[in-house]
Amino acid sequence: MLRRFHPFRPRLLDSLKGYDRTRFLTDLGAGLTVGIVALPLAMAFAIASGVKPEQGIFTAIIAGFLISALGGSQVQIGGPAGAFIVIVYGIVERYGLANLLIATSLAGILLFLMGWLKLGALVRYIPVSIVIGFTNGIAVLIGLSQVKDLLGLKIDKLPADFFTQIGTLAKHIDGLDPLALLIGLVCLAIVVLWPKSYTMPQAPMTPRDHARRVAAHVPGTIVALGLATLLTFVLSLPVETIGSRFGGIPQSLPNFSMTDFSWAGAKQLLIPTITIALLGAIESLLCARVADNMTEFRRHDPNQELMAQGVANFVTPFFGGIPATGTIARTVTNVRAGAATPIAGIIHALALLLIVLVAAPLALHVPLAALAGILLFVAWNMGEWREFVRLRHFNPAYRVIMVGTFLLTVIFDLTVAVEVGLVLACIFFIWRMGTLFDVSPVTDQDLPAGVHVFELYGSLFFGAVGKIEDLPEELPAGTRAVVLEMHKLVLMDSSGLDALQQLWRTFQRQGIGLVLANVNEQPLSLMRRVGFDALLGEEAIVPSVGAALDQVR
């Protein structure tokens, strides 16, 4: 008997079987590498989301630890993600930080229930056109949100609305800071041009190859951030930094604290909660699938992954953290660095904790323009821009769904985009399935006078019943019997059966007999359950067209 609920069994438990020193050293190297990569991204994502930089770091530490320890993937890394920037910023602007923390915890409960009820596989049913559309839309919004810090504009708070943001930026463009722009562009150039490949020539390497190999193991984001911070400190550059805006980063983890909660307030957070849970589920499972394709490990358990995401998002807000999910950039880094088990993800979280405890004062001098340059690179990498070029190779339905989801994400928000995208996908699917259903006359047989045979093909469902309803109008005068050959009718729903019953009643009034031949098991089972076979009579449901013609001669 199948279990109704998914058992809670983290992948870590299986990975520890036969765990040895070699695997630990591999995981140690990968975890330290990812921890270094995660530091600037965690701060940048938090600042772009409208919260303090330490909240991003705390999320990366706590949620990253829990997702790796409890998740269903061998190598996935969790933490704050670029996809959440626009969502979190909008929630903070509209509902406030306290309500963001409440919505995140509620989303964690929802994510856990989704995994426990085995709904992880349902996320895969979201069409790829919708995923690409909202991913590209979020990338555009992330890039737009960084223009303020990249240009050094003195704007207290950017509005959440797309067009209002553009208007606000245009209004303050006269305040452009050339030095901030230079720092941001140089950091962007370093991240783009810095060696990233761990694959080196097999032949004897030149000194240049050796240098590239060493450089490839140092993340470009760290190089850019380190140089920008050093120059800002040494030269006392007059640009906005983490210290000037936020006062620095605490040199310790925050205390556990409860946010005031009420059901009346929670009801107002229904949409933000669903948005966080939906996006978290999509991002984490997409990321886990990417990791599966890059490794030879056992495929991830989507339900266990959702339960781990749920625990992480429920717990992290009690320490001031923001929404977390699986992160593709850090997961790919983890895989390329040779991670073998979830221990690498745990080490990445501990490495971040160590950095906070030891090096937090250095963050005072991190220029915000440098983080903006890094995030512009993240936004560019996040988008699948080639898909716009490839649109001409796809059908109109795919184009409408993808472009529509993209525009709705940019102009309105992700929730509206996904809802409308799913509705459009359903409409186009119904239309497509309806066009595949066909009622075609059989003309290659010698038929008795007044007898017509039609072959049904495809699925007779609510989107295709019109073709059955129009059949009486297509019959010539003098028709005395109609045979429906149903061998190629693979599916019939209740609307299709109702249309078939209406057809039979119409034929009865017109004095035309109806015989069904070679009926498949599913349509026949439905007819029997509602008693339609008894109305037709046993002689009207026969195994072949030949038997049907014998009935009507």
Q: What is the CATH number of the domain that holds 519?
A: 3.30.750.24
> Residue 197's pLDDT band (boundaries 50, 70, 90)?
low
Q: Do 333 and 381 touch, CB atoms closer than 8 A?
A: no
Chain segment 132-146, per-residue pLDDT in tens: 888 888 889 888 988
455 in helix, strand or coil? strand
Looking at the 3D structure of the chain, how many domains does it have?
3
Chain segment 263-322, per-residue pLDDT in tens: 777 778 888 999 899 889 988 888 888 788 878 888 889 999 999 999 999 999 999 999
Same structural domain, 255 and 129: yes
Residue 11 within a domain: no
- Give the pLDDT mean for 489-508: 93
Same structural domain, 311 and 254: yes
Q: Do 305 and 326 touch, CB atoms closer than 8 A?
A: yes
Q: Residue 408: exposed, middle, or buried by beta-carbon count in 10 A (0-12, 13-18, 19+)?
A: buried
Task: Check pLDDT > 90 for residue 112.
Answer: yes
Task: Check pLDDT > 50 for residue 36.
Answer: yes
Same structural domain, 297 and 390: no
Residue 199 within a domain: no
Q: Residue 405 is part of which domain span?
A: 386-435
Same structural domain, 330 and 343: yes
Same structural domain, 338 and 478: no
Query: Who contacts 297 (Cβ-Cβ below 8 Å, separation ≥6)?
Result: 74, 75
pLDDT of residue 1: 40
Same structural domain, 151 and 44: yes
Residue 167 within a domain: no
Chain segment 459-477, per-residue pLDDT in tens: 999 999 988 988 998 898 8
- Give the pLDDT mean for 205-230: 81
Chain segment 236-246, per-residue pLDDT in tens: 999 999 988 88
pLDDT of residue 204: 66
Higher per-residue confidence, 128 vs 261: 128
Which of the listed residues 382, 416, 450 is the one where a domain comes to its end? Answer: 382
- pLDDT mean across residues, the chain: 88
Q: Do 68 and 348 touch, CB atoms closer than 8 A?
A: yes
Query: Who contacts 5 (Cβ-Cβ below 8 Å, separation ≥6)?
Result: 116, 117, 118
Same structural domain, 147 and 274: yes
Same structural domain, 469 and 400: no
pLDDT of residue 249: 84
Same structural domain, 109 and 43: yes
In percent, the amount of the chain with pLDDT more than 90 equals 45
pLDDT of residue 215: 75
Same structural domain, 138 and 278: yes
pLDDT of residue 202: 56
Same structural domain, 272 and 305: yes
pLDDT of residue 3: 61
The residue type of 40 is P
- Give the pLDDT mean for 383-405: 90
| Cα gap 418→429, rounded to integer Å | 16
Chain segment 41-68, per-residue pLDDT in tens: 899 889 988 899 999 999 999 999 999 9
In percent, the amount of the chain with pLDDT more than 70 equals 97
Q: How far apart are the first and last CA of the chain?
A: 52
Lowest mean pLDDT among 69-73, 233-237, 249-253: 249-253
- Length of the chain in residues, anyone? 553
Higher per-residue confidence, 332 vs 534: 534
pLDDT of residue 287: 85
Global pTM?
A: 0.78
Same structural domain, 425 and 489: no
Could you tell me where the DSSP H helices lie in 217-365?
220-234, 242-246, 263-267, 270-294, 302-315, 328-336, 343-359
Chain segment 318-372, per-residue pLDDT in tens: 999 999 999 887 888 888 778 889 999 999 999 999 988 888 888 888 999 999 9
